[in-house]
A and B are shown apart, each in its own frame.
Chain A
């Protein structure tokens, strides 16, 4: 079984027999203002980008704005993508995540606080708002890998990544001593990385 790597195989459904587009190549062409390449890039990644935006900000209208803003930023900065520093999909989703996190931490901070009690009392790994939980082989393996984390690691990673909370906020939510949530997040991500064989 091949190791799962986001490098270049960003198509959500790689098992359908169609060769997945080379995202790094599409990005490179987009950096030269190739709108057609960018449209292909969008088609190959929009479900993931929008899924992440929706998961973090939760409000569908705002998620659309975040998705649009993220793609605009991807278009503007495509030439800055460096394959030596990670996969193309990882780069796209890093921009998306940052855009989503900036959104939830600014204008809607107060609104969002109202729902945080509800949110923090749900198992983090169970998505309650997503439009679709992908039942692909890859998603299954990621979920299995999540199962290798300690409960605290899993919760800390989930609250930080999908909740958009800082490690300081996560520490408070999980009743951890200040400064230890960042270690849990790092340990959890490293364990996930090794379980999934990323970057090897």
Chain B
């Protein structure tokens, strides 16, 4: 049993911090044994919860049932998440996703995500040819990660074009007075600013900088206007899968 495996029980009942959760979820993606164990321990915990029941007030039922009428259920997960329209789309290689959620940011994302209203799937204004070229490049590789509240972000990079594109879906707004800033991880230089994200839930954004040399990308929460270097822990890290 590996060290990380020992975390299965604590993970199953949320007795882990955000860093441990991210680490264990990376492990889960590769360990069927742990996935089965977590599922069985969660079902066990559900029985534990059954020892304490409490009828909620009747008014809560009305609030819940009223509340859902303005919320669109998410579509089921399907294997291909990017370039679904491209005929004979290139297979999208999914790399191991590294997701680190800073505690404060996670609260914002969860809170905002829970009340997200229906968003038209496509409301991208004036899609740029440059982003489409990257998304449809034969060597394009995508990494998608989901935030706790249901938002998702995808970074697609093409080494042939030296460029990368960030796509977000249902992205909640950043905290008041803050922005999301995107970075490319450049060997020898560290995180180099690649874009400040406009406040928009669904967007397609071309990243500045040489994506062909970058080993990954990250998103941080920064003061309005952006920073020259990250000033907070990343809320998301995308690994481009280049072996060192």
Contact = CB atoms under 8 A, between A and B. Distances in A.
Interface residues of B, number: 55
Nearest to B106: A102
Given A71-B68, A87-B46, A102-B106, A133 B52 contact: yes
B65 A102 contact: no
Contacts, number: 234
A139 to B, nearest CB: 5
Contact of A138 (B12, B47, B55): B47
A35 B52 CA distance: 27
Given A42-B64, A72-B67, A182-B7, A55 B52 contact: yes
Interface residues of A, number: 91
Interface centre among B48, B63, B103 (most CB of A within 10 A): B48
A106 B47 contact: no
A112 interface: no
Contacts of A182: 6-7, 9-10, 15
B107 interface: yes
A22 B68 CA distance: 21
A99 B149 CA distance: 10
B6 A199 contact: no
Contact of B9 (A54, A94, A131, A186): A186
A26 interface: no
A51 to B, nearest CB: 4
Interface of B: 6-10, 12-17, 35, 39-57, 60-61, 63-65, 67-69, 71-77, 103, 106-107, 110, 114-116, 148, 150
Closest 5 pairs between A and B when the two form their complex, measured CB to CB: A186-B9, A131-B54, A160-B15, A50-B56, A86-B39
